[in-house]
């Protein structure tokens, strides 16, 4: 029995097709088995004469297209479409065409037209690893339901699916296909089919696993989180995770029916972002947001995502012309629009990863009022350069605001579900939305937290939970006015803690753009020292309106109904409007750290409206974050994702 291709989502697989097209020519392999079934499956693959490859988690694989998949002597009504196969051991000729390894065999990435011969099946499960499903891929006249894995990013029209129930995860392409084609859709994990994944679903699955009460056929299908046609502890663990950490698929949006969408097949993962302009923007925007903008939550601790803010403004710049565009480009630290595009593309491809339990996921979307006519070439550019999906909706419909809110909820791992305002469906033009969601565990878990005292900036003391340790050889950075330490995470990301010197306030550091540049570029004098390290646990969130902050950064015309020029995306004369301008920039962010690791999420909405060697023995460095401090989360190369100030660790 072959090992299934491990769990992956569309963009986490870092797709990259290299050269040529797949041409016809059949290569038959031996019988293979799919997980959860003892039935013999056989696969015919199209010969990959052009050696087309795909980049998957840093390794290249042959881009195999299935011409036919069938099974012999079926004993089950469920047909599992495998995502791996291999030739027989003595078939050296055919084996030479495979990138077979002992763990995975050969991957199957595409199901071509009429490729799945499942005439006797009532249920089909498309395994994780399949990425494209061609038109009418399934020959199954008795079909009642089909479960589609998260990895599928392209799904052709299936003309025989009229009465078929489609199952998949929340936010998946399967969900979007069902909505667009009138199929009943059922969420995996929603065992009782109540349209919510909750404790009742866990109880049902637990009772089944313990033999208390068996699930019926449909309930079992909805409980099968890992697509293997059997229920076990793995499904229970994944179901519990579904409640704690709602998943999203791909880059946060299904593409079916979109007015513009990116081609993910040409997405390649970068090792490091090349984004000098973004680094300048992150340093410059810190004081404008964290110090000069009122937190609508009314809290002492402020946090934002410079990445989310930057990407949303960058997409707005693509819609602008003239001086309006020039102001965006200057504020964003770019030389010109081409440079801005390259930096956004670089950031997206370097920072994005998704390993299910650890991730940094970025999603971009445009929501267009179908009352207006938009310039398709601009939408296509934003899709191509910013990986954004554009949706056209009737803003007079009451469900549009809820749809945008749900999109944000799915793409912030359930952290935010904001109330979206449609100010005036007759005047609102569009909304640009960016989301960033992050989760990772410390490389080494902290021990149990201990109570200690934190001194707030007004001198008052609060008792809170501190995590800490003493390390003989720890890297510590020393600079004028502050010290810095970093805590590594399992997937290469880091959390950096900036502790102001005694007598220096954290606000003084953040207000100085030069110092912030030094912090983000890590210009400190690093030494390896014995260190007593201590940091409080915290759970913080902020909510900002960023029009004033954007003005301080140099973006001014965009907010004037007289001066704003957004003719890059909408023709004023054709739409019979005098102007278009930005009337809202809404941003929310949250960061939580505890003994296990760190979680963070943010969204930005822009609304448009018409009109070393061992050191000598010495005193240890005391790096105890017991007074207000600055922190930021970055990738392994120091590119900031989230930044914030802690003035009171107890405040939530």
CA dist., res. 169 & res. 239, Å (int)? 11
pLDDT at 356: 67
CA dist., res. 2 & res. 7, Å (int)? 15
Best mean pLDDT range from 48-62, 547-561, 624-638: 547-561
Identify the residue with better confidence: 614 or 333. 333
Name the residue among 466, 460, 446, 428 with its Cα closest to residue 625: 466
Count how many Cα atoms sit within 13 Å of the Cα of residue 180 in the half-sphere of its side chain.
Answer: 16
User: Is residue 278 scored above 90 in pLDDT?
Assistant: yes
Asked whether 468 and 626 are in contact (CB, 8 A), the reply is no
Cite the residue boundaries of each domain of the chain with CATH code 2.30.39.10. 443-535+614-646
User: Is residue 641 scored above 90 in pLDDT?
Assistant: no
Q: Quick one: how many helices (H) and strands (E) in the chain? A: 15, 34
Please list the alpha-helical segments (H only) found in 334-436.
337-351, 376-386, 399-411
Identify the residue with better confidence: 246 or 648. 648
- In terms of DSSP bridges, do strands 597-610 and 359-369 run parallel, antiparallel, or are they unpaired? unpaired
User: Is residue 362 scored above 80 in pLDDT?
Assistant: yes
**In this structure, which topology does domain 443-535+614-646 adopt according to CATH?**
Alpha-1-antitrypsin; domain 1 (2.30.39)
Q: Look at 66-80, 186-200, 561-575 and tell me which has the smallest mean pLDDT.
A: 66-80
Backbone angles phi, psi at 213, to 5 degrees: -150, 120
Asked whether 386 and 318 are in contact (CB, 8 A), the reply is yes
Region 615-637: mean pLDDT is 77
Region 186-199: mean pLDDT is 89
CA dist., res. 231 & res. 238, Å (int)? 11
Region 547-563: mean pLDDT is 96
Cite the residue boundaries of each domain of the chain with CATH code 3.30.497.10. 273-440+540-610
Name the residue among 595, 498, 582 with its Cα closest to residue 545: 582
pLDDT at 38: 44
Q: Look at 24-28, 466-470, 648-652 and tell me which has the smallest mean pLDDT.
A: 24-28
Secondary structure class of 168 (helix, strand, coil): strand
CA dist., res. 586 & res. 561, Å (int)? 19
Cα pseudo-dihedral 539, 540, 541, 542, rounded to 10? 180
Backbone angles phi, psi at 260, to 5 degrees: -155, 145
- Residue 393 CA: distances (Å) to CA of 123, 364, 401, 402, 454: 34, 16, 10, 12, 50
Name the residue among 272, 255, 517 with its Cα closest to residue 391: 255
DSSP string, 223-272: H-TTSSSS--HHHHHHHHHHHHS----TTS---TT-SB---GGG----SS
Task: For 94-198, list the strands marked E by DSSP.
Answer: 106-107, 110-111, 116-117, 123-126, 132-133, 138-139, 145-148, 154-155, 165-168, 185-187
User: Is residue 517 scored above 60 in pLDDT?
Assistant: yes
CA dist., res. 619 & res. 530, Å (int)? 8
User: Is residue 587 scored above 90 in pLDDT?
Assistant: yes
Asked whether 66 and 110 are in contact (CB, 8 A), the reply is yes
Q: Look at 1-15, 176-190, 566-580, 585-599 and tell me which has the smallest mean pLDDT.
A: 1-15
> Could you name the CATH architecture of 273-440+540-610?
2-Layer Sandwich (3.30)
pLDDT at 255: 61
pLDDT at 498: 92
Name the residue among 193, 97, 188, 189 with its Cα closest to residue 147: 188
Cα pseudo-dihedral 37, 43, 49, 51, rounded to 10? 0
Region 628-646: mean pLDDT is 86
- In terms of DSSP bridges, do strands 59-62 and 138-139 run parallel, antiparallel, or are they unpaired? unpaired
Secondary structure class of 328 (helix, strand, coil): helix
pLDDT at 29: 34
pTM: 0.69
User: Is residue 333 scored above 70 in pLDDT?
Assistant: yes
Best mean pLDDT range from 223-237, 263-277, 568-582: 568-582
How would residue 621 be classed by pLDDT, with cut points 50, 70 and 90? Answer: confident
pLDDT at 7: 31
CA dist., res. 337 & res. 180, Å (int)? 35
Calculate what percentage of the chain has a pLDDT beyond 70: 84
How would residue 256 be classed by pLDDT, with cut points 50, 70 and 90? Answer: low
User: Is residue 98 scored above 80 in pLDDT?
Assistant: no
Secondary structure class of 405 (helix, strand, coil): helix
Cα pseudo-dihedral 401, 404, 408, 411, rounded to 10? 150
What's the distance, CA 647 to chain centroid? Answer: 29
How would residue 85 be classed by pLDDT, with cut points 50, 70 and 90? Answer: confident
Name the residue among 547, 631, 634, 546 with its Cα closest to residue 279: 634
- Residue 148 CA: distances (Å) to CA of 75, 86, 221, 455, 628: 22, 23, 12, 53, 49
Region 28-39: mean pLDDT is 38
CA dist., res. 155 & res. 131, Å (int)? 9
Calculate what percentage of the chain has a pLDDT beyond 90: 50
What is the overall mean pLDDT for the chain? 83
Identify the residue with better confidence: 178 or 10. 178
Strand-pairing partners, residue 495, are: 487, 633
pLDDT at 339: 96
Name the residue among 247, 276, 245 with its Cα closest to residue 342: 276
């Amino acid at each position: 029995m072959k090992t299934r291709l491990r769990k992956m989502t569309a963009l986490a697989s870092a797709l990259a097709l290299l050269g040529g097209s797949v041409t016809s020519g059949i290569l038959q392999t031996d019988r293979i088995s799919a997980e959860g079934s003892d039935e013999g499956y056989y696969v015919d693959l199209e010969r990959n004469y052009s050696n087309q490859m795909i980049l998957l988690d840093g390794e290249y694989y042959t881009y195999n297209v299935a011409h036919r998949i069938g099974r012999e002597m079926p004993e089950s009504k469920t047909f599992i479409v495998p995502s791996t196969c291999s030739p027989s051991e003595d078939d050296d000729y055919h084996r030479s065409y495979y990138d077979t390894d002992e763990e995975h065999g050969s991957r199957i990435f595409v199901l071509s037209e009429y490729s799945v011969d499942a005439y006797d099946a009532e249920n089909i499960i498309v395994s994780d690893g399949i990425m494209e499903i061609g038109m009418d891929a399934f020959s199954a006249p008795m079909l009642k339901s089909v479960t589609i894995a998260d990895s599928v990013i392209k799904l052709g029209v299936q003309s025989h699916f009229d009465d078929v129930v489609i199952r998949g995860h929340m936010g998946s392409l399967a969900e979007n296909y069902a909505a667009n084609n009138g199929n009943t859709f059922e969420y995996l994990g929603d065992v009782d089919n109540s349209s919510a994944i909750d404790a009742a679903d866990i109880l049902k699955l637990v009772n089944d696993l313990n033999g208390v009460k068996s699930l019926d056929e449909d309930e079992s299908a909805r409980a099968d989180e890992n697509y293997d046609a059997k229920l076990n502890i793995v499904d229970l663990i994944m179901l519990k995770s579904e409640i704690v950490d709602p998943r999203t698929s791909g880059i946060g949006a299904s593409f079916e029916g979109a007015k513009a969408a990116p081609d993910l097949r040409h997405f390649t993962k970068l090792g490091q972002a090349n984004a000098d302009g973004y680094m300048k923007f992150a340093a410059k925007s810190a004081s404008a947001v964290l110090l000069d903008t009122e937190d609508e939550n009314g809290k002492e601790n402020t946090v934002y995502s410079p990445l989310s803010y930057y990407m949303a403004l960058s997409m707005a710049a693509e819609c602008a012309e003239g001086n309006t565009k020039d102001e965006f480009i200057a504020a964003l630290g770019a030389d010109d629009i081409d440079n801005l595009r390259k930096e956004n593309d670089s950031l997206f491809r370097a920072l994005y990863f998704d390993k299910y339990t650890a991730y940094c996921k970025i999603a971009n979307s445009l929501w267009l009022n179908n009352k207006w006519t938009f310039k398709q070439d601009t939408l296509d550019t934003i899709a191509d350069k910013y990986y954004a999906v554009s949706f056209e909706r009737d803003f007079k419909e009451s469900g549009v605001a809820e749809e945008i809110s749900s999109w944000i909820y799915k793409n912030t791992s359930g952290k935010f579900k904001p109330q979206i305002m449609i100010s005036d469906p007759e005047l609102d033009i569009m909304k640009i939305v960016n989301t960033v969601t992050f989760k990772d565990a410390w490389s080494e878990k902290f021990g149990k937290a201990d109570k200690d005292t934190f001194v707030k900036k007004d001198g008052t003391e609060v008792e809170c939970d501190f995590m800490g340790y003493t390390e003989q050889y720890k890297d510590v950075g020393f600079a004028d006015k502050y010290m810095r330490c970093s805590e590594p995470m399992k997937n290469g990301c880091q959390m950096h803690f900036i502790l102001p010197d005694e007598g220096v306030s954290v606000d003084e550091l953040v207000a100085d753009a030069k110092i912030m540049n030094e912090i983000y570029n890590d210009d400190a004098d690093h030494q390896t020292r014995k260190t007593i390290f201590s940091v409080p646990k915290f759970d913080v969130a902020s909510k900002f309106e960023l029009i004033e902050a954007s003005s301080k950064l140099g973006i001014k015309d965009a907010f004037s109904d007289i001066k704003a020029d957004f003719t890059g995306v909408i023709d004023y004369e054709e739409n019979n409007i005098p102007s278009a301008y930005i009337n809202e920039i809404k941003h929310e962010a949250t960061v939580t750290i505890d003994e296990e690791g760190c979680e963070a999420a943010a969204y930005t909405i822009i609304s448009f409206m018409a009109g070393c060697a061992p050191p000598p023995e010495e005193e240890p460095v005391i790096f105890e974050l017991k007074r207000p401090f600055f922190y930021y989360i970055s990738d392994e190369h120091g590119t900031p994702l989230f930044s914030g100030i802690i003035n009171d660790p107890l405040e939530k």
